[in-house]
Structure 1
Amino acid sequence: MLPRAFLACLAALCLLVPSAWAQISLSAASSSVLVYADAAANGAVQLRFQIPKTLSYFALGTGSKMSGSDIVVVWQNTDGSVTVSHRQASGHSLPSPVNQQAISIVANQASKVAVPSNVYVATVIVPSSWASSSSFIWAYVTGSLPTSNDPNAATFVQHARNTRGIIQGSLLTSANSFKSGSPSTPPPPKSSNGAPSPPGSNNGNNGNNGSSGNTDTDDITGGDSLPDFTVAHGYLMTFAWLVSTPIGIFIAQFFKERWHNWWFRLHQFFMFIGCGVLALVGFWLIFYQKQVAGDYHFSYADTGLHGILGLILTVLMLIQIVLGVVIDRLYNKDRTSVPFHDKLHWYIGRLVTLLAIVNIILGCILYVAPTWIYVVIGVWLALVVAVFVLLKVQQTRTRRAKPGDAEQHSLSRPKQNKPLQGRY
């Protein structure tokens, strides 16, 4: 009698359990994004997104990396309407809008489980190519909404490393179908690093069934355990090229006669340690990070001109260091003209410095740096140019007052109290 009553109660409870469960439940901030998928007409795929309103946007794309990914970006506008933008990624820059007619927003199907008030729903038909993809990338951002309701004109803030990930496996599985899913009890949603959320954590279920799906822990990855070296890379490169390099150049250009023994030592310090070592550390950090993430840092499709130009600058910088050492060893105090290798060192240095400034700006654009970064760089460069002009004017006046000093300045070192190796 008791077993029968128990089974009857269990059957009654099963009738109350919804028939659709999301295979994909992604922890996003303090809530979860749910993604369902069903086959649509003509081989297309119908995606149903349940997205917390606290997110600026949620993006899902084909493949395992940005380059070449076919992406849909979903966000809710201030008037409550939903925009879905069809994008094509070419690397770690803002994905470009592509044929918006290839996707379509359709009416949302009624859910057997009440959708929480802090969540909005969007159902989108995507191209048939999505059905054959075996991996997908996802990302989200909290905060300010995209700049426009227009799917072609809108721009977005770039996601962080811990707000992105990869989904392995096909979307079109019975467990992930919104129309005919399994009524089995779902596991807790995944956290951003692919592990189940700890017991008692705020995983976005809000007490409602159906907030997470049937999937193994390995199905969702992302949120690498390594720290994000992008910011460290940016600061190191900025200090190396915008602070240390100008100081090293100014010392060699304007302070030989004044500082005697010390100018060359300081020039070596700022150019070798301040620029060379810091730039190499910054280069290694971003290269290592990209390799771990499975990205190719020197691909134009992946990082645009920034990655390629960064490699060229690093090679030229190493050539400059070697050339400086060679020039120092070949210095002849009795020379009557400026050797070719000296002039080569000068002009490579100027070229590398200008290219480095350009590449820093390209890096800021690539990683969508905030406005204040551009302001700080602009003010600093203006200050550097102003100081250079003032020192150059002062140097010109001094040399005019002492005829013959200008030529002697490039041919020999100033008088020193102690023998010192140096290229000037």
Structure 2
Amino acid sequence: MALMASVLLPALALFSVSASATVAGSTNALRQTDGPTGDFHCGRNMCVNATLSGNVVNYSLTHIGGVDPGWLGIGFGTSMTYTPMVVMWPNSDGSVTLSQRITSTYSMPHTDSRPPRTAVLSSGSRVAGGTGEFAFSIPWDHNTKTDLIYAFAAKNINHLTTSAPDSAMQPHMETGYAHLDLSKPIVVADEVVSPKPSLSAPKSSPTKSSSASTLTSAALPLSASQRFAFVHAIFCTVGFLVFLPAGALVARWARTFTPAWYTAHWIAQFAAAGPAILIGVVLGVEAVNKSRSVVHLNDAHKKWGAALVALYALQCALGAFIHWIKPKNSTGRPLQNYLHAVVGIVLVGLGFYQVGSGLTTEWPQMTGREEFIPGAEIAWYIWAMLLPILYFAGLSLLPKQLKQERGVVPGPQVTTEKPLPSGEYSSLLAESADVEGEDYQD
């Protein structure tokens, strides 16, 4: 113990000194910075410049590109919902309207009568022909690291916004994210800067590369609700697009070669897919519970998801019924076998639709982010085209399967010179037949 204390105490003291020095150094670095500090970010159609001066941050939203602006706006946060926003737009008389807004859903933000910080329109904010500088100042929240969302809407002659701060707004055509470091020293150019700066020449030029201040949506931290939604998507994708198709392919390709196909089929369809889907559903429900803006079953994705889970439960029950309960007086393949096959194909098809809508619609709407995982949509398209080819190619084995069922050729487990007893036929997805006390799985 004494030896341990003799080692740990000096190390702890050294850590304390180092930490104190680091904090002091960081504080001094901020205090020793003379002149304005700030950062900027540029998207395709607009740039955001932020300059910290005392306890006030001056923001300048500048239109770039060839599209006339309808409005420009930023929000102080990482998601559209419950994020205080400042939206600005040009008027026909050359003036600029500033409107502070907020929303609890992914719809047009409404005016915020009690914003946490009041933005003030800068006197120099005037435009000519839709181009110019949209500037405002806002009290500093004493955070040098600022996460922003921004949006740009093109001018729409069929949806003109009036000068009133509560005017209706047309939908945006560009959205993005930025992470600004307001502690960066900046150099203010001596010459007058063009009101339409290029990506390499913003109004305030940081001493570091602009890439240091650019943050893609994928790099922003996920909220608790978004983390649950992310993992929900992973589990449901694995359940509906990996395990269920794998079970179908095993049944289609292996049934004429080995009696073990049925065991592999039900393990993939039930033992593996079931827990994955169940966990995914629970995580999806919890993602909604943790969100302040999303409610249960409020859109097509959530409603189809509930229907899909119900259909999966029905398919499992139907498969168990076919396996355990055999019709006594059937003269052909039982109807429930065909139904099981059709429901299985529909289930996988709807699974593809559901995962696709989650990637392209639900994830962006719920999180305000763009791509779920790089390449996820491409992988979805490839698998959606490849799986039907693999499955229907397996139908080439159907003649052999039918001969085995009639006893013309040996099956994988039993050989019989007479047709199997009535009702003992396999569906395209899964079932078994009892032949002379043996579990015949074709």
TM-score when scaled to structure 1? 0.50
Of 193, 197, 204, 2:182 maps to 204
Q: More deviation in 241-250 or 337-346?
A: 337-346
Aligned twin of 2:390: 387
| Equivalent-residue separation in structure 1 for 2:351 and 2:236 (angstroms) | 9
Aligned twin of 2:320: 325
C-alpha root-mean-square deviation of aligned residues, in Å? 5.3
Aligned twin of 2:277: 279
Q: 1:146 to 1:254 in 2, by over 3 A?
A: farther
Aligned twin of 2:381: 378
Question: What's the CA shift string for 1:249-299, capped at 9, x where partnerless?
Answer: 122233222121x11111111111332211111111121121022344433
Instruction: Return the letter of the residue paired with 2:229.
Output: T
Q: 1:335 to 1:226 in 2, by over 3 A?
A: same
In the TM superposition, residue 390 of structure 1 has moved relative to its aligned partner by 1.9
Task: Tell me if the contact between 1:287 and 1:297 (Cα under 8 Å) persists in the aligned partners.
Answer: no
In the TM superposition, residue 313 of structure 1 has moved relative to its aligned partner by 0.9
| Equivalent-residue separation in structure 2 for 1:70 and 1:340 (angstroms) | 59
| Equivalent-residue separation in structure 2 for 1:269 and 1:296 (angstroms) | 35
Task: Tell me if the contact between 1:238 and 1:360 (Cα under 8 Å) persists in the aligned partners.
Answer: yes
Aligned twin of 2:234: 235
Instruction: Return the letter of the residue paired with 1:266.
Output: A
Task: Tell me if the contact between 2:88 and 2:99 (Cα under 8 Å) persists in the aligned partners.
Answer: yes
Aligned twin of 1:199: none
Q: Is residue 312 of structure 1 aligned with residue 326 of structure 2?
A: no
Aligned twin of 2:75: 59
Task: Tell me if the contact between 1:59 and 1:140 (Cα under 8 Å) persists in the aligned partners.
Answer: yes
Of 104, 108, 111, 2:122 maps to 108
Q: 1:345 to 1:297 in 2, by over 3 A?
A: farther
Instruction: Return the letter of the residue paired with 1:323.
Output: L
Q: Is residue 293 of structure 1 aligned with residue 302 of structure 2?
A: no
| Equivalent-residue separation in structure 2 for 1:365 and 1:247 (angstroms) | 24
Q: Which runs of 5+ in 2 are unaligned?
A: 1-40, 42-47, 52-56, 63-71, 90-95, 112-118, 126-132, 138-145, 157-168, 187-220, 365-369, 408-418
Q: Is residue 338 of structure 1 aligned with residue 351 of structure 2?
A: no
Task: Tell me if the contact between 2:323 and 2:433 (Cα under 8 Å) persists in the aligned partners.
Answer: no
Q: 1:343 to 1:288 in 2, by over 3 A?
A: same
Task: Tell me if the contact between 1:251 and 1:266 (Cα under 8 Å) persists in the aligned partners.
Answer: yes
Q: More deviation in 339-348 or 232-241?
A: 339-348
Corresponding pairs, count: 283
More relative contact order, 1 or 2 (CA 8 Å, 6+ apart): 1
SS at match of 2:313: helix
Instruction: Return the letter of the residue paired with 2:304.
Output: L
Q: How does 1:112-123 map to 2 (within 5 A)?
A: 122-123=135-136
| Equivalent-residue separation in structure 1 for 2:85 and 2:436 (angstroms) | 67
Q: Is residue 50 of structure 1 aligned with residue 59 of structure 2?
A: yes
Q: 1:49 to 1:387 in 2, by over 3 A?
A: farther
Q: How does 1:17-416 map to 2 (within 5 A)?
A: 50=59, 58-59=74-75, 66=81, 91-92=105-106, 95=107, 108-109=122-123, 122-123=135-136, 140-141=148-149, 152=170, 154-157=172-175, 204=182, 224=223, 228-260=227-259, 262-300=260-298, 304-331=299-326, 335-366=330-361, 367-368=363-364, 369-370=370-371, 372-392=375-395, 394-396=396-398, 398=400, 404=406, 409-410=425-426, 413=432
TM-score when scaled to structure 2? 0.48
Task: Tell me if the contact between 2:236 and 2:276 (Cα under 8 Å) persists in the aligned partners.
Answer: yes
Identity %: 17
Task: Tell me if the contact between 1:58 and 1:74 (Cα under 8 Å) persists in the aligned partners.
Answer: no
Q: Which runs of 5+ in 1 are unaligned?
A: 1-27, 35-47, 76-81, 100-104, 112-119, 125-137, 164-191, 193-201, 209-221
Higher-Rg member (1/2): 2
SS at match of 2:256: helix
SS at match of 2:344: helix
